Each structure stands twice: as structure tokens, then as C-alpha cells.
Amino acid sequence: MRIFLALVILLNSFAVVAGPAVSSSAPEETFSYDPRVDEFYENPEPQVEASAVDCKMNAADIKSKRGPASAPACTTPAQLMAVNVSNTDFSRICQRMVAQDPGCQRIKPEKRMSCSGKRENMILSSANLLPKVGQCLKGLLWDSMVDLGKFILDIIKFLVKAQVNSLVGMVRFLTDSTYREQTIAAANNAANQGSRLGMSFLRSSGAYFAREYPRNLLRHPFNPMLAVGETLLNPLMKFITESVESIANYYIPQYQCMNGTAKLYTICKVIGDFVMPPAFMFAFLKNGVNGLRALAATAKVASIRRRFGAVNEISDVLRAARRVEAPRISVAPVRRLPAPHTPARPPVVHPPGHPARIHPPRPRPVAELPAAPLRRQSPDDLIEVARSHRAENAAEDVANGVDDIAPAATPSPVSAEAAVAPAATTAVVESADAVAETLMRQPEFREVLGGLAGTEKAQAAHALEQLSKGGASPGITVDLYRKLEPQIASEVARAPSGSVDHWAQLGRYIQKEKAAGKTDQAIQRKIEDAFQCR
Amino acid sequence: MFKRYLITSWLLAVTSTAWALAPAPGFKVKTTLGDVITYELAGKDIEINSMDSDFKYEDLTQKEMDNLKSLVKAKQEYGKMFGFADWKATGQKLIEKNGERIVLIQGNYKDAQKKTVNFIEVYWANPAKAGQYLITSDTLSLKMDNFSDYLK
């Protein structure tokens, strides 16, 4: 019996899931980025949908016969965005649509879709994909990296099954839903899917990925998305964004009538409300929007639907308040949305002659919870900038109105950093932009800052700036930053409030030592010894 | 009755594992990601990844192995996309003995830090079972002839 038990334990040990235990020594990182990926983005395949023909014909009608007022087709912004029309036709149809579509009418003009060109209404331009979408996806995926890894393994299986064997094809598979659907359908219908050994040979790519991924995760503790590798990063983000966009589009009727910036803002707000379920991404990968419909009955999506409901109700309350009263409604950022909706107070009825700009009692449809603490604090001055900027933004957002989207709710501790506020992050980013911009001129600094975004970029830029004020060479500055950053980050996290600016102190120290005639190397050695990181 | 059930289960477990190729004693599970299980050998820079396989005993033939050459380019494209760039095969071999067939491919690739990683891919099958494994090392030069040091 003992032998049996021992064997059972031995057999079971094969099923044990162990945590990663890889050495974290992180030498300098470089990516092999294939230029064909960029080429693809610059020359994407044109997407022509069934409705395109109708819209084109109607656009021609508008031109030649009846004029813009009579354009009968392309009645929804989604349709218009999906078709290929010239800029002139786009403008004409768009203007008419914006004037007539009730959804569009509910959106403030500055958030509304732009009729001057299609591009301004798209969020997925290569310019904003990484810095903006990546920033809000980072919080989303913070604790879902295992799920993301599994999802990538699924993608590999799909690619092999669909016989997508070129890099450009893989990028296209992830970024072009029409192509994806076609290749999956073709693979399902194909009588011969290739040899089984051949497919296993390609599918073993998953084993390579599973080997490298945990190592890369350890190299990017503060930006785990980078662990997927730079070649995959952009198309994958585009895919994830597309799927999030689809859910936003599915649940928010006005979404398609927003311009690119408002869409991006909405997506980041929506993302804050739930952690992306991998099942959703997988369903979207397999079946596109139909996959969404299939998922609609599941508990997870039901909960998302309820949250969207709450978001819309809150917006209604805010809108009602705005209708009654002045443009300067000051509402603090809402941190968490409870599921049930609390009815708004009835609007205050002012006596005749009451000044129009007096604020009504503030509607409090949801409980306001204190902001979650930052996981890693920014340096004091940045936090100060962030605070004031955030306050301004919060007031502005509500007064101007994303109209229909309430401030984001906060998911679990996952994105505590992001939760402190997208606005805070934005502020840090903006305040550090100039610094980062200047630093990026140095190739050594570019190497550090190039792979970062948002708060992390701001923090890194601050650190590098302070260190380089000491006058050491960029190479040594970067080296010191890389070695000291983990220790200083943990020190700041341990004593966040009123903590000193370690980087500034170090910069001053370097400056003093340089003035005393010490060489860069000697200073570096001394600091490394002090921090015990040599 | 229960004792007999236990003995039967034990026999089944022992016989089925005895017939399958598995990481050599000493290898311990390090991580599991989806269907890929990663094993490591304490104190040695060597890892084995095992994953589910779809091929069968009859697929492991010289002809099928030769056909893999036409997929090398595709594999390299997967490598660029999924983090094992510059994938190169430096040798391949088909072994058939004792009712087992094994296709071995050895080579190397570059990881995200451009460091060379050596590998042996192992496709193993007997008429009842099949399995595929990836043996990798950053520092050891792996030879396919020695694969049985790592997989028993």
C-alpha cells in the first residue's frame, strides 16, 4: 500500500503547477523587430464589406443627383466607418448622419465623430496604439499574464490550423477580422490540413514561447505586456483593443459616433470596470462579434452587462443634473460602481429670479470610495502635479461630459496604479513628456525610455534626469539607473509619504564627487558598493 | 474489493507511464502554461517542455521527416513572432527501435536578449502513445544523440 501511495504521489506531481523560479538577472534587452510588421501597418489590406457597395453608390448619388440631404444608406456611424468612400463623400454622409442620428446627438460636439476625415474617428492609428492603448491595457492585463500566455498558445494553434505561415499573415490574422474569419473558415473546410507531424512541428512554437515567456515576464515586472516580445506586441494589442472596442460597441449605442480620442477615452474607462476575460478574447478570436453573442448568456458577460447598465444610468443622472443646472458641476472621480442603481434626487426647483449658475445639490448616484493607494509612488513633485491635474480633469470630464460614460470604476488591486486615475497617469506622462523628449535624444536613454510608457516612463525619465544632472556619462547613468531602480522603487514603496527624492540625492552626490575630481567609474563603484548591487 | 480496485489502478498507472517517454529522474515541474509543462533539472541549465501531440506512430517516417524541411521557413516566421528568432536546425534524425520511433531535430535560436539557446526537438511515438518534447539550454551544447540522457 505504501508503494502504491508513493506512486500516486509521484504521478500526481506531474500535474502540480509550480510558480516561476527563474533567475532575475536581467541583461540589456534588445528586440528583433521585423520591418515587415511596420510595412503592413503602412499598407494594410483594404477592407471592403458588403455594405460598402451600397454606400458608395449612394455617395455617387449624392454627388451627381440628389445632394447630401438625400443620402439614403450608410445610416449608422458603424456602417460609414466600415466602408471605403472618398474623403469628400465621407464628409457629406457623415454630416447628414451626425445631424440625424439620435445617438450622435447625445454626444457633445467635441467628442462627436469628426466629419473631416475617417482617420480622426479611429483609435487604432500606429501613433497612439502603443503609448495610449498600451497604457490602459497594461493595468487590464497586470494579473492576467498567465491567461494572456495561454491565449497566445491558443493563437499559435489557430495559426497552425489555419496554415498561416508567414509573419505578415500572422500580423494580418490578428489585426484584420475579415482575414481571420476567412482563414479559420477555410481551415475548417479544408479536406487536408497538412501532415500531422508537420503541424506538430509548427505547433511546437508554443513550447518555445512557454519557455521564453516566464523569463521575459521577469525582465519586465512593471510592463508585463512587453514579455510577449516586440514583434507580437503591436498586433496583439491591436487585437485586444479591437475586442474591447467590440464589447464597447456592443453595449454602448453611442460608441460609434465618437471621435478617436473619445473612443480611446471610453475604452480606457470601460476597461477599468472589468478585467478582460480570456474566454471573451478567445470567443472573439474564433467567431468575432458572433462569438460575443454566443457569450452573452454567460455569467461573466451578464455581470458586464449590468455594469454597463449602471454606467448608463449614472450618466443619465448626470445628464439630468446638467440639464437642470449649470455647466460647472464638480463631481469627484467615482472609484467603484456598485451594481444597483441609486435613484437621483429630484432636481432642485429654484425660485424665480434665482441666479442661473448656482450649483444644485450634487447628485451622488454611487458611493465614492477613497482612491486606492499607489502601488509605486511617483516622486513627490510628480504626484503633486498629478493631483492638481486630476482634480481639474475630473471636473472637466463631468462638466463637458463624455456624455454617456461615467468615470471608470476600479477593478481589484490589479490596476491599483491605473485606478488612482487615468487622469493622474496622464498628468504624470504630460509633465514628464518634455523631460523624456529631451532625454530620448541620447541613444542610451532612448534604449531605456523607448520601451516604457505612462507613469513608468515618467518615473524613469525623472530618475535619469536627476542622475544625469550629476554629470556622469549617459552609459554610466543608465547602468546605475538599471542597477538601483529595483531597490529605490521598493524603498519608495515602503515609505511613500514624505519620502525623499533618492534620484535627486544621487544626482547631487555624483555632482559633488565629480567636482572633487573622481572619475565616473570610481563614483559608480562607490554607489554600487553602497547599494550592494555590484 | 476496494483493495483490488486500488491494485488495478496502480498496475494501470505503472504500465501506462512505463510505456511513455518522460523527463529523466531529477527533472521537476517548473511551470505549466496551457498544455505546455516545463521541467527543470536542479543545478543544471537545462529544461524540457512537453506538450500535447496529435501525430501518431505511422507519421514518424523518413518521408514525413523530409517534408519538415519545407516547413523550416514557416517555423522561422513563427520564431520571429513568438520570441525564438533565427531558429536554425543543424541536424535531424529518425530512430526506430524496440517498437518506438523517434524524430530528433537539433539546432539553436536567439532569445529576446539575442542570446543563443540550443535545443533538441523530440517527436516520440509507439503504436499506442505519442509525445513531443523540447529540450533547451542556454549554455550546454545539446547533441541529439544524447537526448536519452534527458528523456527516458
DSSP A300-313: HHHHHHHHHHHHHH
Task: State residue A57's pLDDT score.
Answer: 45
Task: State residue A237's pLDDT score.
Answer: 80
In chain A, residues with a C-beta closer than 8 Å to the C-beta of B10 are: 4, 7-8
Give the CA distances from residue B17 to residues A14, A504, B11, B32, B126, in Å, rounded to whole numbers and listed in that order: 11, 61, 10, 19, 13
Question: Which one has a higher pLDDT value, A312 or A260?
Answer: A260
Contact (CB<8Å) A211/B38:
yes
Least confident of A43-52, A485-494, A515-524: A43-52
* C-alpha cell of residue B86: 533565427
What's the average model confidence in pLDDT over A83-99?
82
Contact (CB<8Å) B29/A16:
yes
| DSSP letter assigned to residue A63 | I
Question: Which one has a higher pLDDT value, A36 or A190?
Answer: A190
Question: Which one has a higher pLDDT value, A172 or A313?
Answer: A172
Quote the CA–CA distance of A115 and A121 in Å, as a whole number: 9
Three-state SS letters, A139-184: HHHCCCHHHHHHHHHHHHHHHHHCCCCCHHHHHHHHHCHHHHHHHH
In b/e form, how buried is each residue of A370-381, taking b as 16+ CB within 10 angstroms? ebbebbebbbee
Contact (CB<8Å) A4/B10:
yes
What's the average model confidence in pLDDT over A491-506?
61
Domains of chain B: 21-149 (3.40.1000.10)
pLDDT-based confidence at residue A527 (cuts at 50, 70, 90): confident
Going from N- to C-terminal start, the domains of chain A cover: 50-100, 124-301, 426-531
φ and ψ at residue B50, rounded to 5 degrees: -115, 145
What's the average model confidence in pLDDT over A517-524?
81
Task: State residue A132's pLDDT score.
Answer: 61
Task: Give chain A's mean pLDDT.
Answer: 61
Question: Which one has a higher pLDDT value, A333 or B85?
Answer: B85
φ and ψ at residue A515, rounded to 5 degrees: -65, -30
pLDDT digits (tens, 9 = 90+) for A15-69: 333 333 333 333 333 333 444 444 444 444 333 333 444 454 444 444 444 444 4
What's the average model confidence in pLDDT over A280-298?
65
Task: State residue A199's pLDDT score.
Answer: 94
* C-alpha cell of residue A45: 489590406
Q: What is the mean pLDDT of each run of 10 residues along chain B (152 residues)?
A: 51 49 93 92 93 93 93 96 96 93 96 95 94 95 92 90
Question: Which one has a higher pLDDT value, A45 or A2?
Answer: A2
Nearest to A486 by CA among A26, A8, A160, A179: A26
Residue A390, judged by CB atoms within 10 A of its CB (0-12, 13-18, 19+), counts as buried
Contact (CB<8Å) A149/B10:
no
In chain A, residues with a C-beta closer than 8 Å to the C-beta of B134 are: 204, 207-208, 211
- For B120, the enclosing helix (H) or strand (E) is strand B116-125
Across the interface, which of B6, B30, B75 has its CB nearest the CB of A4?
B6
Task: State residue A67's pLDDT score.
Answer: 40
In chain B, residues with a C-beta closer than 8 Å to the C-beta of A196 are: 54-56, 59
Q: What percentage of chain A reaches a pLDDT higher than 90?
A: 7
Across the interface, which of A146, A167, A198 has its CB nearest the CB of B67?
A198
CA of A152: which chain B residue's CA is closest? B82
Contact (CB<8Å) B59/A197:
yes
Nearest to A68 by CA among A89, A82, A47: A89
Size of interface A-B (CB pairs under 8 A): 179
Query: Which residue out of B39, B47, B81 would a mutagenesis test of the A interface target, given it has the greatest number of A Cβ atoms within 10 Å?
Result: B81
In chain A, residues with a C-beta closer than 8 Å to the C-beta of B75 are: 201-202, 205
Across the interface, which of B34, B110, B113 has its CB nearest the CB of A27?
B113
Quote the CA–CA distance of A232 and A174 in Å, as a whole number: 9
Nearest to A312 by CA among A284, A277, A292, A337: A337
Query: Which residue out of A146, A193, A197 would a mutagenesis test of the B interface target, given it has the greatest number of B Cβ atoms within 10 Å?
Result: A197
Question: Which one has a higher pLDDT value, A38 or A98?
Answer: A98
pLDDT digits (tens, 9 = 90+) for A203-214: 999 999 999 999
Quote the CA–CA distance of B138 and B143 in Å, as a whole number: 13
Question: Which one has a higher pLDDT value, A24 or A186?
Answer: A186
